[in-house]
Amino acid sequence: MNWNFEILPDFIFNGLRDGAVYAAAALALVLIFKATTLINFATGELAMLGAFFVYVLNIEQGLWLWLSIAIAMLISAAIGAAVERALVRPFDPADHLPVVLITLGLFLIINAVAGDVWNYQVRRVNDPFGAFPSWVPNGSELKTSSEGTIACLNNADGELVEVAAGTADAQMCEMVGRTFFEVIGARLHYRTIGTWIALALALIALAIILGKTKAGLAFRAVSSNTESARLVGVNTGRTLGFGWALASVFGTLSAALVAPALGGVNPNMMLTILIYALAGAALGGLDSLGGAVIGGLVVGLIKSVLVSWFGVVVLGQAYFSILQLAMAFLLILIVLLFRPAGLFGTRRIERV
């Protein structure tokens, strides 16, 4: 065994990076599950659609990236609510099968439509946390390095400037052009930190919406007991629509944040991610928002540290690298067998 601890931090950071992706997607899954106690298989595809809206607004229309994300979130909210109203509400909420089938159908339809509209080529998107943004004062981007000098791309005039290595200018140039911090010899990408901050902010926002607003209260009432909520006068239909809208908003945010890590947007971007997200959600508890985030993180870390670092590097078994997806399934299975409610989910107690 080759305990190569030197590169362990790299794998931990990878786990954090991938974990952020799964956590964000798991959050969207859990929101729908809380409202309806069913898994929305179209979660990933709705999120992908949202990412394409960001692409259209930001890249094609030239809007500011964060504004594009905000608008895309609003559009997605409308779509989520519309899907709930048109396709989910007509069915008996107690009968899950038709609704699950509908979400599966939606999954296929949205994927095919997106493929038809945008084709399956990956389209590059701007990275919200890629490098220091160009509006940072004196911002310049590291372009290439050669002996003794560093070529900096100056953002102000787009010119390549040669600066001597080791000078303050060069340090600035390197720092600004980089996309990561170096921590104990490993690369901690700005994207990883940014995505986790964005996720934390989203969780706080979600806690406020669900805890402090009337709509949130209704949502909690419906997710706790639909029948009772209806009896006390909560408009359950509208509340479930609100839940779908909220889930679509978070789906879009997650897809917009992860797209750069996948090379860009394309109709298949969320396919496999959804499976890891499901594993994360199952682990954390399908009805626990915090659990989804922690579950997503754990899945990311298991993939990186257990499978890739321990399996491939330490044990020296190269084939472990293709077992990552299998590990996600295994995790789902283990959780379902031994702790069906997940680590942080509500245990259902039935009284006779």
For other proteins, the binding residues (CB under 8 A) are 4, 7, 10-11, 14, 17-18, 21, 37-39, 41, 96, 100, 104, 111-112, 115, 119-124, 143-144, 179-180, 187, 189, 261-264, 266-269, 271-276, 278, 282, 303-304, 307-309, 312-313, 317-319, 321-326, 328-329, 332-333, 336, 340, 348, 350
Nearer to other proteins, 164 or 322 (CB): 322
Nearer to other proteins, 26 or 273 (CB): 273
The least CB distance from residue 114 to other proteins, in Å, is 11
- Contact between 283 and 342 under an 8 Å Cβ cutoff? The reply is yes
Pairwise CA distance, residues 297 & 15, whole Å? 7
Element (H, E) at 83: helix 65-83
The least CB distance from residue 207 to other proteins, in Å, is 26
Please report the beta strands in 138-265, taking only residues with DSSP state E, as ranges in sequence order: 140-145, 149-154, 160-164, 180-183, 186-189
- Contact between 286 and 33 under an 8 Å Cβ cutoff? The reply is yes
- Contact between 85 and 241 under an 8 Å Cβ cutoff? The reply is yes
- Contact between 284 and 290 under an 8 Å Cβ cutoff? The reply is yes
CA atoms within 13 A on the CB side of 262: 23
Nearer to other proteins, 90 or 316 (CB): 316
Which pair of structure tokens corresponds to residue 191? 């994207």
The least CB distance from residue 263 to other proteins, in Å, is 4
The least CB distance from residue 288 to other proteins, in Å, is 15
The least CB distance from residue 283 to other proteins, in Å, is 13
Nearer to other proteins, 74 or 325 (CB): 325
Nearer to other proteins, 132 or 309 (CB): 309
Which pair of structure tokens corresponds to residue 3? 């305990």
